[in-house]
C-alpha cells in the first residue's frame, strides 16, 4: 500500500499497463466495484482471446466474489474496507474449463485474504517449516 490509502496502489496498477499484462479492477457487475478496492494483476502474458476471456471472465468474477464474500463474513474490520486495497496476482489455468478456473481463483483468493487478515503464516511458522517445505512444482 502506498500513500495514505490503498487507492494509490490500485491507481498505479491500472495506469501502468504493459503489452500482454492488462491489470483490471475487480467488479461484481459493471459499475459495482468491490470494497476494498481490488486490482487483478496477470502473472502470465495474455496471448489471444481465450486467455483474455479467462482473465476478464471467470478469474475476475471469482476474485470479486471472494472479496465480497470475505467482507460479508467480516474478515475485514469495517474501517479497513475503506482504506485498504488488494492486489491479486492471477494465474490462468490451462485447462480450458472456465468453471474450474473460477473455483481455483475463488478458493485461492479467499484463503489469501483469510491468511493476510489473521497474520498467517507467522514468522515462527515460516522458520519452523523452512527446511521441510517442498514446492509443488519441484520437479520442473
Average the pLDDT over 8-30 and give the result: 78
More confident call, 32 vs 84: 32
Rounded Cα gap, residues 139 and 33, in angstroms: 40
As a whole number, the mean pLDDT across the chain is 82
Rounded Cα gap, residues 79 and 32, in angstroms: 19
pLDDT score, position 71 = 92
Pairing of strands 85-90, 27-29: unpaired
pLDDT score, position 138 = 63
Q: In the chain, pLDDT over 70 holds for what percent of residues?
A: 82
105-119 pLDDT per residue, tens: 899 999 999 998 889
Residue 2, classed as helix, strand or coil, is coil
Rounded Cα gap, residues 5 and 83, in angstroms: 5
pLDDT score, position 6 = 54
Residue 1 has pLDDT above 70, yes or no: no
pLDDT score, position 96 = 60
pLDDT score, position 139 = 54
Neighbours of 111 (CB within 10 A): 12
pLDDT score, position 103 = 85
Topology classification of domain 7-129: Ribosomal Protein S5; domain 2 (3.30.230)
Give residue limits of the domains in the chain: 7-129
Q: In the chain, pLDDT over 90 holds for what percent of residues?
A: 31
Amino acid at each position: 500500500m502506498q500513500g495514505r490509502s490503498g487507492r494509490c496502489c490500485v491507481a498505479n496498477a491500472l495506469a501502468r499497463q504493459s503489452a500482454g499484462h492488462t491489470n483490471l479492477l475487480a467488479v461484481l457487475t459493471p459499475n459495482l466495484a468491490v470494497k476494498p478496492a481490488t486490482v487483478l494483476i496477470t502473472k502470465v502474458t495474455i496471448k489471444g482471446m481465450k486467455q483474455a476471456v479467462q482473465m476478464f471472465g471467470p478469474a475476475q468474477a471469482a476474485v470479486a466474489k471472494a472479496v465480497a464474500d470475505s467482507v460479508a463474513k467480516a474478515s475485514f474490520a469495517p474501517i479497513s474496507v475503506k482504506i485498504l486495497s488488494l492486489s491479486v496476482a492471477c494465474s490462468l489455468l490451462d485447462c480450458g474449463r472456465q468453471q474450474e478456473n473460477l473455483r481455483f481463483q475463488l478458493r485461492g483468493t479467499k484463503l489469501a485474504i483469510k491468511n493476510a487478515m489473521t497474520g498467517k503464516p507467522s514468522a515462527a511458522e515460516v522458520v519452523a517449516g523452512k527446511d521441510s517445505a517442498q514446492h509443488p512444482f519441484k520437479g520442473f
